Amino acid sequence: MKIERHFDIAIEVKEILRLLGYKNKGPDDKILESITDEIKKCHEYLDPALAYEKINIKEKKEDRVLLGNSIVFQGKYIASKLKDCQYVVVAVSTLGKKIDEIIKSSFDSGDYLRGMIVDIIGSTAIEYINKAFWKSMIGYIKDSDIGITSRMSPGSGGWDVSEQSKIFRCVDAAPIGISLTDSNMMIPLKSTSTVYGFGKGIGITRAEHICSECSMKNCAYRMDKSVEIIVRGKSDKIIHADIGSNLLEVLRREDVFVESVCGGRGTCGKCKVIFLKGAGKPTKQDKTHLSNEEIDRGVRLACCCTLYNPAEIQTMDSCGAMNVMTEGSKVDIKIEPYVNKMYLKIDTPTLEDQRSDVKRLKSAMKIDELSVGRDLMVRIPEVLRENDFKVTAAAYKNILLDVEGGDTSNKSYGIAVDIGTTTLACYLVNLRDGKIIDLESEVNRQKIYGADVISRINYTIQERDGTSILKNCIVNQINEIIHRLCKNNSIDKRNIYNMTIVGNTTMIHLFLGLPSRNISLSPFISVTTEPMEFPASEVGISIGGFVSILPAVSSYVGSDITAGILSCGMYNSKKDCLLLDLGTNGEIALGNANGIVACSTAAGPAFEGASIKHGIGGIKGAISKIDLSKDNIYKTIGDEKPCGICGSGVMDMVSELIKYNLVDETGRMADKDEISSEILSKRMVQNGSMKEFVIDGEITFTQKDVREVQLAKAAVYAGIKVLMNEKAITDKDIEKVYIAGGFGNYMDIQSALNIGLLPKEFSGRVESIGNSAGTGARMYLLSRHCREDMKEIIKAAKYIELSGRKDFQEYFVDSMMFGDSKE
């Protein structure tokens, strides 16, 4: 007998709501909170265990089944179910006795609601265990011809409950604490007994129970029909969702893009959708994050919206319209890619020259160790002969990728991909001359699963298929972009022979579908940071050759930074240079030819507008510049009606607030009566307990926003200081400061110096280099020497972990203030 005790039980709110009978509408916040709280703490009293035994079937008759242990299952029902089976698995499962006690004491003390909720959580949890067990059994048989019956239990279907005692003779349930009463009931109450039959060729019976086929029409637990949700947009989309499901989850599943910074926890207030029809009562979170005007208009937060009724919605379509930074510096390198495409005039075979086709190719290509795949060898004889032995061969390193008829040597392409946490950029590159043929960039679609790497990793931990969902999300998006790039430029996908990918370590893990959990937990260990190479098909990318992934330094200094180091050339420089990549995380590298130190700071999503009340990405209508001396104090991207404030605007805002003494050096916003200028004083308003500076109409900048910026800028500043300490140099020793990343390109460098994101001494030495990660990826694509250089960079780079470092903490606190930081 075997016992399982490790079940990662995940209870879904919607399931509890369904079992509580909610149909047309959901509960109020108070009840919902009781449910979510109980789900959180249920693990304290759930003590799951499952014991099982595999038993061979010895003999089958019409009305009974004799097992190998001499026990006989009696009755026509069970006999017919097991008639094609060779063995059975008998299992008993339980949640332990604690939950029974809690249900009883709750009812006894008059807390009926809790009693009921715990009872239903118990029912859901025990089913969860059974399902998990079922899945593990399926895992064993899925590649064989063995099938499994549906689940059977004494007392259900046509199997008499008196057979229960036989189950308990098959499996010793005492070790997991289940006993059987004289009336064949199990104690603890939340226990089940099950039998599954296994047999060759009987197929896998998936459903344990199908509601639509069940005759108990009045069953409270019956799964109801779905509700229809119409998503209005460029083309309308109709979604059928289960009643009680969460709108954000439904939209994610259906690939409808919604901003979701916090990953659906109801804390960021960004996943707004407009209900044109069927808006429900606003939730507590709606009231916190939305204005009354928005609520009246039907705006709701998708992550807090449970679907009970048909609805018609519209999303705040910001995807795709984002201003993604794709520009990088020019690549001045010798074009020498690993992809080699050559036109060959091969000697035709004769009786005197009977060399094989492959041998002929090898000698023509002058590659001795050429490796040729089977699929290719199937085609080679025909291609050679149809084209009179005049063909073009494409190879990656010493691997033959393709053989085409005639001279196609000019059709040799590569793609450099930069997977950012927020944005995705793909460059289609001509491998002959190194020129960018075309490029496409989009918001990384994984963003709906959380704005930062930690919330994405959390998603992979919390959702059963989270890792593969995120993997498919990014792989599909890249494939779609490849498809468009090829179509728009009349290129065949097969002629793209190499793709280089950069990204932070988490993005690379998610792209490969590697477990990322340990990246988020101290001591922050990734599966790999090595340079990697895969046949494209192995990682699901639809091009003709190989996918190469650039190496990283650590979990938090990824290949986007190493690519940046490669592209700005600091590893060749004699003097020290600083590279600062300001994205969702702030990564910093400092050094020269003699060595580089790098760190990552939790700059937080403030500079991407995420943790700012009215913050948005760099989309049209985003306030990107602020100057309080002007009549019109702001400018928006595309000169459109303002819809929020993006990173560069945030930085200008704070810089201006300081300049006009609207924020003091501690970061406190001035009271209305402290402001001498009447015009500015009017803009400072009190909203509840929060001071806010009105930029335009509803768009304000709050005291909390100022605090967010303080935290972010202090983290970056302190990171820079720690690295300088590590290298034992001062501000003056730094020759060049390279600012990478989209935001870095748009931000006003003076504002960055004003608010103390960068030390004032850097003034005049700062240069924006755009998407240096993308540039590095292109260099890696085009030059084998750059690949060698990259190996050196990795060797020379040292990662500095900031968390727990005392000097970082001190610098961090010091640089929290605005104005000249005290050292």
Partner 1 sequence: MEILDEISEKLQAGAAPKVRQLVSDALNQGIDVKKILDALIGAMGIVGVKFKNNEVYVPEVLIAARAMNAGLEILKPILTETGIKPIGKVIIGTVAGDLHDIGKNLVKMMMVGAGLEVIDLGVDVAPQKFVSAVKEYNPDIVAMSALLTTTMPGMKKTLEALEKEGLRSKLTVMIGGAPVTENYAKEISADIYTPDAASAAEKAREAITKKVA
From 219, 521, 525, 813, residue interacting with partner 1 (rule: CB under 8 A): 219
Using the 8-state DSSP alphabet, how is residue 719 labeled?
A: H
Closer to partner 1 by Cβ: residue 26 or 759: 26
From 185, 211, 525, 685, residue interacting with partner 1 (rule: CB under 8 A): 185
Q: Return the range that interacts with partner 1 (CB under 8 A); candidates 31-39, 282-290, 439-447, 774-782.
A: 31-39
Q: How far is the CB of 25 from partner 1 (least distance, A)?
A: 9
Q: How far is the CB of 36 from partner 1 (least distance, A)?
A: 13
From 9, 55, 66, 189, residue interacting with partner 1 (rule: CB under 8 A): 189
Closer to partner 1 by Cβ: residue 183 or 490: 183
Closer to partner 1 by Cβ: residue 165 or 520: 165
Give the burial string for 579-610 (b: 16+ CB within 10 Å, else e).
bbbbbbbbbbbbbbeeebbbbbbbbbbbbbbb
Question: Does residue 513 contact residue 541 with C-beta atoms inside 8 Å?
Answer: no
Closest-CA residue to 65 (of 57, 55, 56): 57
Quick check: helix, strand or coil at residue 369?
coil
Using the 8-state DSSP alphabet, how is residue 331 labeled?
A: P
Rule CB under 8 A: say whether 181 interacts with partner 1: yes
CA distance 670 to 662: 5
Q: How far is the CB of 23 from partner 1 (least distance, A)?
A: 6
Closer to partner 1 by Cβ: residue 28 or 145: 28
Q: How far is the CB of 154 from partner 1 (least distance, A)?
A: 9
Closer to partner 1 by Cβ: residue 168 or 607: 168
Quick check: helix, strand or coil at residue 124?
helix
From 72, 161, 238, 521, residue interacting with partner 1 (rule: CB under 8 A): 161
CA distance 590 to 602: 17
Q: 745-784: which residues touch partner 1 (CB under 8 A)?
A: none
Q: 443-502: which residues touch partner 1 (CB under 8 A)?
A: none
Residues composing the chain: 823
Q: How far is the CB of 438 from partner 1 (least distance, A)?
A: 56
Q: How far is the CB of 305 from partner 1 (least distance, A)?
A: 18
Closer to partner 1 by Cβ: residue 32 or 241: 32
Q: How far is the CB of 122 from partner 1 (least distance, A)?
A: 10
Q: Return the range that interacts with partner 1 (CB under 8 A); candidates 63-71, 185-193, 204-212, 277-285.
A: 185-193
Q: Return the range that interacts with partner 1 (CB under 8 A); candidates 19-27, 88-96, 385-393, 422-430.
A: 19-27
Rule CB under 8 A: say whether 417 interacts with partner 1: no
Can the peptide bond before residue 523 be classed as cis, meaning omega within 30 degrees of 0? yes
Q: Alpha carbon of 457 to those of 421, 424, 446: distances in Å?
A: 12, 18, 11
Closer to partner 1 by Cβ: residue 112 or 140: 112
- Greatest alpha-carbon pair distance for the chain in Å reads 102
Q: How far is the CB of 273 from partner 1 (least distance, A)?
A: 25
Rule CB under 8 A: say whether 155 interacts with partner 1: yes
Total Cβ atoms within 10 A of residue 690? 14
Closer to partner 1 by Cβ: residue 310 or 349: 310
CA distance 460 to 590: 33
Rule CB under 8 A: say whether 187 interacts with partner 1: yes
**Run of H or E including 561:** helix 559-568
Quick check: helix, strand or coil at residue 457?
helix
Q: 87-146: which residues touch partner 1 (CB under 8 A)?
A: 103-104, 107, 110-113, 115-117, 119
First and final CA of the chain: distance in angstroms?
Answer: 67
Q: How far is the CB of 325 from partner 1 (least distance, A)?
A: 50
Closer to partner 1 by Cβ: residue 191 or 506: 191
Can the peptide bond before residue 188 be classed as cis, meaning omega within 30 degrees of 0? yes
Q: How far is the CB of 116 from partner 1 (least distance, A)?
A: 6
Closer to partner 1 by Cβ: residue 190 or 411: 190
CA 439 to chain centre: 23
Say what angle helices 505-512 and 453-462 make with each other, to 10 degrees.
30
Closer to partner 1 by Cβ: residue 35 or 598: 35
Rule CB under 8 A: say whether 160 interacts with partner 1: yes
Closer to partner 1 by Cβ: residue 117 or 549: 117
Closer to partner 1 by Cβ: residue 194 or 467: 194
Q: Return the range that interacts with partner 1 (CB under 8 A); candidates 20-28, 201-209, 464-472, 537-545.
A: 20-28
Q: How far is the CB of 746 from partner 1 (least distance, A)?
A: 50
From 27, 177, 266, 349, residue interacting with partner 1 (rule: CB under 8 A): 27
Helices (H) and strands (E) in the chain, counts: 24, 35
Question: Does residue 627 contact residue 733 with C-beta atoms inside 8 Å?
Answer: no
Closer to partner 1 by Cβ: residue 244 or 586: 244
Closer to partner 1 by Cβ: residue 209 or 682: 209
Rule CB under 8 A: say whether 182 interacts with partner 1: yes
Q: How far is the CB of 163 from partner 1 (least distance, A)?
A: 11
What is the amino acid identity at position 330? K
From 9, 10, 13, 20, residue interacting with partner 1 (rule: CB under 8 A): 20
Contacts 24+ apart (CB under 8 A), 132-136: 132/7, 133/4, 133/50, 133/52, 133/91, 133/93, 134/196, 134/208
Question: Does residue 481 contact residue 293 with C-beta atoms inside 8 Å?
Answer: no
From 9, 10, 13, 31, residue interacting with partner 1 (rule: CB under 8 A): 31
Q: Is 569 left (phi over 0), alpha (psi -120 to 50) or beta?
A: left
Rg (Cα) of the chain, in Å, rounded?
A: 32
Q: How far is the CB of 195 from partner 1 (least distance, A)?
A: 17
DSSP output for 180-217: E-TTS-EESSSEEEEEEEEEET--B---S--GGG-S-T
Rule CB under 8 A: say whether 21 interacts with partner 1: yes
Number of residues binding to partner 1, judged by CB under 8 A: 34
Q: How far is the CB of 212 from partner 1 (least distance, A)?
A: 19
Closer to partner 1 by Cβ: residue 92 or 424: 92
CA neighbours closer than 13 Å in the CB half-sphere of residue 248: 23
Q: How far is the CB of 183 from partner 1 (least distance, A)?
A: 3
Closest-CA residue to 716 (of 633, 790, 625, 647): 647
Burial class (CB in 10 A: 0-12, 13-18, 19+), 172: middle
Q: How far is the CB of 136 from partner 1 (least distance, A)?
A: 29
Q: Return the range that interacts with partner 1 (CB under 8 A); candidates 22-30, 268-276, 339-347, 597-605.
A: 22-30
Closer to partner 1 by Cβ: residue 183 or 354: 183
Q: How far is the CB of 743 from partner 1 (least distance, A)?
A: 47
Closest-CA residue to 451 (of 304, 318, 604): 604
Closest-CA residue to 713 (of 654, 646, 657, 670): 654
* Residues binding partner 1 (CB under 8 A): 20-24, 27, 30-31, 34-35, 103-104, 107, 110-113, 115-117, 119, 155, 160-162, 181-185, 187, 189, 218-219
